[in-house]
Amino acid sequence: MPHISVIIPVYNAGNYIVDTLNSVLQQTLKDIEVIVVNDGSNDQSLAECYRLQEIDKRIIIINQDNQGVSKARNVGKQNATGDYIIFIDADDELDCRMLEILYTQARKTDSDISVCGVDRIFEKKQEEKKNYHCNYEEITVDQAIEWLLLGQKIESGAWNKLFKASTIEDVHFEEGKKINEDKYFVFRSLLKSKKIVYCAEKLYYYYCRENSVTNQSFSERWFDTLYFADRIYEELKGRNNLEVFARYQLLIAYYTVLRRMYPFRNQYKKEYQLVIDKIKSTSFKSVLSYMDKKQVFGVLSIKYCILLYKFMRCVSK
């Protein structure tokens, strides 16, 4: 049984998958299996994966018709045999010591989830010598959920986290959703956990691509953000120490979708009004201290003066 199962869903990632896989195969922790789930790619992705599999037998390839990243991740998880599981995007890369550091932290502290920092990259990363200062801190589940919902140290993506396989056995990615499905997976995994360990060292290299889902113009997939924000709020409602953070992420989700929807409001008149009504009906006083000035102004303007909000949009162009 390998220490770690690395799960990589792949769909038309031919330009990146070789670099991604090499960054995994060159990890200092060698006792891993690499599960590549080909989600119906029609470019050279699959051929590149098979080529690398001939060189390194730790690669396991699973083929399926195109069913989306959540289905691919779930299939990979079902086939994983490692003590720990990590999900990697097919166009990102890992620091060569990432898995070793996360695994060592998890084992040393008996944590359910081991987390590292993320380096957001807009150009190809250059090779550099790194002095590792991985001072880790053990945190409670409530603290981790707070950080997740406030968008602080715990990222919403699943990719910079090593999960104990037994902890997330009954946690799955919700299929059919396009945005924030990984945030909800992380949230549900935290609820199943007893202890989390965090290291601020930026060991996961997240490449900011122009064609990524979150960089595209508004479409109905953005309503998934509201769906998951509502789910999280309902699950934390009544938990006094966390409800305020759940309300915060709820307001931010609706505010973000409203801003993206604004240029297309005539196409989504009903949905646009529903989002405005939701913001106006949600109690916000307790969360103002967690918002930046732009967010506060946006929420207040929606609640008390829709015309002012429209004016704000005009002058900010």
Q: How many domains does the chain have?
A: 2
284 and 194 fall within a common domain: no
pTM of the predicted model as reported, rounded to 2 decimal places: 0.87
Which of the two residues, 309 and 205, has the higher pLDDT score? Answer: 205
Query: What 3 state SS string does the chain have?
Result: CCCEEEEEEECCCCCCHHHHHHHHHCCCCCCEEEEEEEECCCCCHHHHHHHHHHHCCCEEEEEECCCCHHHHHHHHHHCCCCCEEEECCCCCEECCCHHHHHHHHHHHHCCCEEEEEEEEECCCCCCCCCCCCCCEEEECHHHHHHHHHHCCCCCCCCCCEEEECCCCCCCCCCCCCCCCHHHHHHHHHHHHCCCEEEEEEEEEEEECCCCCHHHCCCCHHHHHHHHHHHHHHHHHCCCHHHHHHHHHHHHHHHHHHHHHHHHHCCCCHHHHHHHHHHHHHCCCHHHHHHCCHHHHHHHHHHHHCHHHHHHHHHHCC
| 151/134 same-domain check | yes
Whether residues 202 and 116 fall in one domain:
yes
| CA quadruple 270, 271, 274, 276: dihedral sign | negative
- Give the Å distances, CA to CA, from 38 to 5, 64, 168, 204: 16, 6, 22, 22
* pLDDT attached to residue 129: 54
Tell which of 197, 213, 229 closes a domain. 213
Nearest to 207 by CA among 60, 15, 41, 74: 15
- pLDDT for 131 equals 61
Domain boundary among 184, 213, 242: 213
**Are 143 and 43 members of one domain?**
yes
36, 50 contact by CB (below 8 A): no
Are 228 and 204 members of one domain?
Answer: no
Measured between alpha carbons, how far is 118 from 287 in angstroms, rounded to an integer? 26
Same domain for 305 and 235? yes
Whether the Cβ atoms of residue 236 and residue 215 lie closer than 8 Å to each other: no
Q: What percent of the chain has pLDDT over 90?
A: 65
CATH number of the domain where residue 95 is located: 3.90.550.10
Please say which residue of 185, 213, 241 terminates a domain.
213
* 52 and 153 within one domain: yes
Query: How far apart (Å, rounded) are the C-alpha atoms in residues 262 and 89?
Result: 30
In this predicted model, what pLDDT tens digit does every residue of 45-81 receive, in sequence order? 999 999 999 999 999 999 999 999 999 999 999 999 9
Residues of the domain holding 36: 4-213
Average pLDDT over residues 117-132: 72
pLDDT above 80: residue 176: yes
pLDDT over threshold 80, residue 209: no
**Residues 159 and 225 both lie in one domain:** no
Q: Rounded mean pLDDT of the chain?
A: 89
Same domain, 90 and 235: no
Shared domain check, 201 and 149: yes
One domain for residues 17 and 108? yes
Residue 22 and residue 40 in one domain: yes
